[in-house]
Copies of this chain bind each other. A is one copy, B any other.
Amino acid sequence: MTDFFKGIPEIRYEGPDSDNEFAFRHYNPDEMVMGKRMEEHLRFAAAWWHSFAWEGGDPFGGRTFDRPWFDDSMASAKLKADVAFDMFRILDVPFFCFHDVDVRPEGATFAETTRNLEEIVDHIGTHMESAKTKLLWGTANLFSHRRFMSGAATNPDPEVFAFSAATIKTCMDATHKLGGANYVLWGGREGYETLLNTDLKRERQQAGRMLSMVVDYAKKIGYDGQILIEPKPQEPTKHQYDYDVATVYGFLKEFGLENDVKVNIEQGHAILAGHSFEHELALASALGIFGSIDMNRNDYQSGWDTDQFPNNVPETAMAYLEVLKAGGFKTGGTNFDSKLRRQSLDPEDLILGHVGGMDVCARGLKAAAAILEDGGFEAAREARYAGWNESFGKDLLQSDLSSIYDQVAKGGIDPQPRSGRQERLENLINRFV
């Protein structure tokens, strides 16, 4: 144990009436929800990058946080890992997620960087032997270093593709070694700043080839975790190839990977793409590629990725409603891709951000479960489509335009609008949130 969180107690469930800031009021890991422990439903993960590597900078200002591990040494990287496992224990989170650059210093050469990663992975592995916290997913940061400024897989320079491929290999190895349930790809630079200097078609082909290599390598090493792509429409690039769930689906179909790869959907990225979070979840489920979620909150009036902790229960409930309807998480989970505001300087802010977020998710999950258990909501929705379960509806889908025309032309089919009853359904939902 380090003394970074000195004086902060382990967070335990105390119930909704508690006024203890350092307690859960709604997240009760062992509480049963629709026949499963809440912890197993939510599968919370803490993110190494926002929690421990982010320095509080923004485009108009530098570092605000003051952490003892903010230098590039291996000793600091280990201290950072020690503090991370302190936080995991305090929060009792069952999972964590990381990029390579979050956990190790960059070396002078690729080989040294790889050795640094391996050494830290061993250090993390040692922690994991005694901790309950497992790895939800690992990933490679192929966007921060200036070598990736024009893309990783989609770089005009094949050397960057090679460097990226080699880096991904080391990150997949690390994820495999630590028993990661998933391996994630987020293409922060896989897009363009301007079409003027971009061969969009060629770059898409490069991205498709890299993804195929990833899938092949997982099979080769016997990694049976799930490969996930995380869509984002833009930022840092003007336009990212993995814009949203629908775009990723078309991409996977183009390269024949739709059975091998699923999506990790982030609330904030959905909002930036012009969708609601629940839309992206529902669509991924409908397309059979729902994998995991990055939980956070994007400010609706800001045009960039604000990555705030979630705090709106009704919205969170809508998200978990889709998760539950999709059958719940399999390998996926709820990763807090959420960062403190840069004015939130204190170690306790980091704990309280997660406590609040976990409680909000727990309330959302319970509300979603209550909606489904009540049954009225789903029944109302299904009733709306009842005609499709009757012979007229069923036959219609087997028919063709000419035959249908003949039916309609002879009269008798004059469809009458029926109320969509949106307000009534909104009221119904509000009984549970």
In the complex the two chains form, is B235's CB within 8 Å of A385's CB? no
Chain B residues lying within 8 Å of A9, measured Cβ to Cβ, are: none
Chain B residues lying within 8 Å of A272, measured Cβ to Cβ, are: 303
Contact with B along A240-276 (1 / 0, CB 8 A): 0001101101110110000000000000000111111
In the complex the two chains form, is A385's CB within 8 Å of B156's CB? yes
In the complex the two chains form, is B349's CB within 8 Å of A423's CB? yes
In the complex the two chains form, is B238's CB within 8 Å of A194's CB? no
A356 at the interface (CB under 8 A from B): yes
Could you say which of B246, B305, B377, B416 contacts A250, with CB atoms under 8 Å apart? B246
Residue of B nearest to A143 (CB): B60
In the complex the two chains form, is A396's CB within 8 Å of B19's CB? no
- How many of these chains are in the complex? 4
Q: A83 to nearest B CB, angstroms?
A: 18
In the complex the two chains form, is B61's CB within 8 Å of A430's CB? no
Q: A2 to nearest B CB, angstroms?
A: 20
A126 at the interface (CB under 8 A from B): no
Considering only residues 207-264 of chain A, those with a C-beta below 8 Å from chain B are 209, 213-214, 216-217, 220, 233-236, 238-239, 243-244, 246-247, 249-251, 253-254
In the complex the two chains form, is A360's CB within 8 Å of B430's CB? yes
Q: A210 to nearest B CB, angstroms?
A: 9
The secondary structure that dominates the A interface is helix
Residue of B nearest to A205 (CB): B397
Q: A212 to nearest B CB, angstroms?
A: 9
Chain B residues lying within 8 Å of A315, measured Cβ to Cβ, are: 312
Chain B residues lying within 8 Å of A401, measured Cβ to Cβ, are: 165-166, 168-169, 172, 213-214, 216-217
Which segment of A37-45, A69-77, A405-413 sits at the interface? A405-413
In the complex the two chains form, is A197's CB within 8 Å of B165's CB? no
Chain B residues lying within 8 Å of A28, measured Cβ to Cβ, are: none
A35 at the interface (CB under 8 A from B): no
In the complex the two chains form, is B419's CB within 8 Å of A344's CB? yes
In the complex the two chains form, is B405's CB within 8 Å of A165's CB? yes
Chain B residues lying within 8 Å of A169, measured Cβ to Cβ, are: 401-402, 404-405
Contact with B along A185-199 (1 / 0, CB 8 A): 000110001111111
In the complex the two chains form, is A286's CB within 8 Å of B200's CB? yes
In the complex the two chains form, is A196's CB within 8 Å of B415's CB? no
In the complex the two chains form, is A200's CB within 8 Å of B304's CB? no
Contact with B along A335-370 (1 / 0, CB 8 A): 000001111111011001101100110000000000
Considering only residues 369-424 of chain A, those with a C-beta below 8 Å from chain B are 377, 380-382, 384-385, 387-388, 390, 392-393, 396-397, 399-402, 404-405, 407-411, 413-424
Compute how far the CA of A149 lies from the CA of B170 in the bound complex, rounded to whole angstroms.
38
In the complex the two chains form, is A149's CB within 8 Å of B246's CB? no
A279 at the interface (CB under 8 A from B): yes
In the complex the two chains form, is A427's CB within 8 Å of B356's CB? yes
A33 at the interface (CB under 8 A from B): no
Contact with B along A287-317 (1 / 0, CB 8 A): 1000000000001111111000101111100
Compute how far the CA of A61 lies from the CA of B143 in the bound complex, rounded to whole angstroms.
6
A78 at the interface (CB under 8 A from B): no
In the complex the two chains form, is B314's CB within 8 Å of A300's CB? no
A177 at the interface (CB under 8 A from B): no
A201 at the interface (CB under 8 A from B): yes
A7 at the interface (CB under 8 A from B): no
Compute how far the CA of A353 lies from the CA of B421 in the bound complex, rounded to whole angstroms.
9
Chain B residues lying within 8 Å of A420, measured Cβ to Cβ, are: 149-150, 193-194, 197, 341, 343-344
In the complex the two chains form, is B278's CB within 8 Å of A384's CB? no
A131 at the interface (CB under 8 A from B): no
A36 at the interface (CB under 8 A from B): no
Could you say which of B286, B299, B343, B433 contacts A201, with CB atoms under 8 Å apart? B286
A327 at the interface (CB under 8 A from B): no
- 20 A-B contacts, Cβ less than 8 Å apart? A21-B424, A59-B304, A62-B144, A111-B409, A162-B408, A162-B413, A196-B422, A197-B381, A197-B422, A200-B282, A238-B301, A243-B246, A244-B246, A273-B274, A274-B301, A309-B423, A311-B314, A311-B426, A355-B427, A360-B430
